[in-house]
Amino acid sequence: MPKSDNPQLLLEWARDLGKTNPFLDLHVHPYEVLTGDVGFNPDPQIEGLFNKGLFQYHPPVLDDINPTQPIPDNQRGLLLAARLTYNHTGPKVLTDQIDLAGLSGALLLPVARTAGKAEEMLEVTQKMFEKEARLFSGCALPINIQPDKLADFFRFARQRNRIRAIKFHHNLTGIDPLTKKGEELTNAALAAAGELNLPMVVHGGRSPGLEPIECREYGIISRLATVDWSISTAPVILAHAGCHGLTYAESIDALSILNNLFEKHSNLMADTSNLEPSILQLVLEKINPARLVFGSDALYVPIWKAWLRFLQSLQLVSTHPDDDLISIASLNPARCLSL
């Protein structure tokens, strides 16, 4: 591979490998996660483009990958950032991004925070994305459904809406895995995922700025370590490698716990989404590539930008970058989605 910071050279290297090993992004949000607003209108001129307001859509182009917007530390800032990010969505937006990056597909992960929202998202997502075979639909954990009803809910969603994965975000749903209710919901979701052979993507880390404040750390790895992830026989992917919103020092501790969990649960994986370069490099140093999948956290981070950061970090850390790239971004994601 090229030892270079040149984006074009990095993309050419990856595209060459991608000819025989299609690359996938397993962490894309089609809608913003704080409100789950799906109120987009189809563009009258551009097929596959859905808009909110009158903002003009501009296809993505390569620019500087280094500037990073800090995560707002209050709910108002989070909502404002989400509005600015999600002026547009739809297959046009997402395929423009995966095409620029040179990827072959992406997994869509909606998040619901209110009763009925997961059901609404299933219908909207199917209508919006059903014509684009490169985008695989995930399903948000439904709110206010009893644990013993979850398997039926996901079974119906797989049959009717062709879902390929389940998204569980303890922080945003306000579900504390240390409580009896939280344990029952988590275990029931895992059992359903295993029964239906659906991978489950679980937020890992802190959510700065989220309200109520106590929800911000329901997904930190010390809490998630209490869960029996082996209840599911399907892959369980811990998003952000458990390091979202953590400092470098906290991430070192989190990754130590994560490696211990890997020893206990053979189905447990982690993704690389939305991590600062120093922490992403730490993840690539500390975690076996066989347990990692690539994720971007788009649209919060553009897919092409997350991909280039990943490629740069991999070339700095890995002694076998070709093999590791193929494992993390092609073989492991394909296995998770049973492709």
Q: Is residue 104 part of a domain?
A: yes
Distances (CA, A) of 54 to 38, 50, 81, 86: 16, 11, 17, 12
Give percent above pLDDT 90 in the chain: 87
Biggest distance spanned by C-alpha atoms of the chain: 53
Distant-in-sequence, close-in-space partners of 324: CB < 8 Å, separation ≥ 6: 284, 289, 314, 318
| Neighbour-count burial of 61, counting CB atoms closer than 10 A to its CB (0-12 exposed, 13-18 middle, 19+ buried) | exposed
φ, ψ of residue 160 in degrees (nearest 5): -85, -40
pLDDT value at 4 more than 80: no
**Which pLDDT value is given to residue 241?**
98
Return d(Cα 49, Cα 47) in angstroms, integer. 6
Sheet with 24-28, edge to edge strand ranges: 24-28, 105-108, 135-140, 165-168, 200-202, 236-238, 268-271, 292-293
Q: Is residue 1 part of a domain?
A: no
pLDDT value at 102 more than 90: yes
**Which pLDDT value is given to residue 5?**
75
Domain with residue 239: its CATH number is 3.20.20.140
Q: Is residue 103 part of a domain?
A: yes
pLDDT 10s digits, 103-126: 999 999 999 999 999 999 999 999
Q: Is residue 330 part of a domain?
A: yes
pLDDT value at 292 more than 70: yes
pLDDT value at 67 more than 60: no
What DSSP string describes 65-77?
Answer: S---PPPPSSHHH
Q: Is residue 245 part of a domain?
A: yes
**Which pLDDT value is given to residue 70?**
61
Mean of per-residue pLDDT scores for the chain: 93
Query: What's the pTM value of the predicted model, to 2 decimals?
Result: 0.95
For residue 305, what are the domain limits?
7-336
Q: Is there a contact between 21 and 339 (Cβ–Cβ < 8 Å)?
A: no
φ, ψ of residue 331 in degrees (nearest 5): -65, -50
φ, ψ of residue 333 in degrees (nearest 5): -60, -40
φ, ψ of residue 276 in degrees (nearest 5): -60, 150
pLDDT confidence bin for 14, thresholds 50/70/90? very high
The closest of 262, 305, 301, 304 to 283, measured between CA atoms, is: 262
pLDDT 10s digits, 157-211: 999 999 999 999 999 999 999 999 999 999 999 999 999 999 999 999 999 888 8
Q: Is there a contact between 270 and 241 (Cβ–Cβ < 8 Å)?
A: yes
User: Does a cis peptide bond (omega within 30 degrees of 0) precede residue 299?
Assistant: yes
pLDDT value at 76 more than 70: no
Q: Is residue 2 part of a domain?
A: no
Q: Which two tokens stand for residue 174?
A: 């306000």
Q: Report the alpha-carbon angle 312-108-47, nearest 5.
A: 100
- What total number of domains does the chain contain? 1
Q: Is there a contact between 128 and 43 (Cβ–Cβ < 8 Å)?
A: no
